[in-house]
Amino acid sequence: MSVELLTILMFLTLMISIALGHPLAITLAAVATLFGLIDNGGNIPALLQMFVNNAWGIEQNYVLVAIPLFIFMAQILDRSKVSEGLFDALYIVLGGLRGGLGMAVIVVSTVFAATTGIIGASVVAMGLMAGPALLRRGYDRGLASGIICSSGTLGILIPPSIMLVVYGGLTGMKETSVGNLFAGAIMPGLLLSVLYLGYVAIRCFINPNFGPPIPAEDRTATLGQKVAMTVKSFVPPFGLILTVMGTILAGVATPTEAAALGCIGALILALANRKLNLEVLKLACDSTLRTTAMIMILFVGGKLFSVVFLSIGGGDVVADLLLGMDVSDYVILAIMMAVVFLMGMFIDWAAILLVVVPIFTPIAMDLDFNPLWFAMLVCVNLQTSFLTPPFGYALFYFKGVAPAEYSMGDIYKGIIPFVVIQLIGLALMISFPEIITWLPDVFFGR
CA distance 338 to 15: 17
CA distance 279 to 197: 37
Angle (CA) 347-3-321 rounded to 5° is: 70
* pLDDT of amino acid 113: 79
Three-state secondary structure string covering 373-413: HHHHHHHHHHHHHHCCCCCCHHHHHHHHHCCCCCCHHHHHH
Read off the pTM: 0.82
pLDDT < 50 positions in the chain:
none
Q: Which residues of 151-190 are buried (b: 16+ CB within 10 A; e: fewer)?
A: bbbbbbbbbbbbbbbbbbbbbeeebbbbbbbbbbbbbbbb
Q: What is the DSSP letter of 270?
A: H
- pLDDT tens for 50-80 read 888 878 877 777 777 888 888 888 788 777 7
CA distance 223 to 167: 44
* pLDDT of amino acid 118: 66
CA distance 90 to 85: 9
* pLDDT of amino acid 446: 58
H helices then E strands: how many in the chain?
Answer: 21, 0
Q: How far is CA 7 from CA 10, 168, 277, in A?
A: 5, 26, 52
DSSP per-residue string spanning 150-184: HHHGGGGTSSS-HHHHHHHHHH--STT-HHHHHHH
Domain ranges of the chain: 3-444
Cα-Cα-Cα-Cα torsion 354, 356, 358, 362, nearest 10 degrees, comes to -160
Backbone φ, ψ for residue 191 (5° rounding):
-60, -45
CA distance 203 to 216: 21
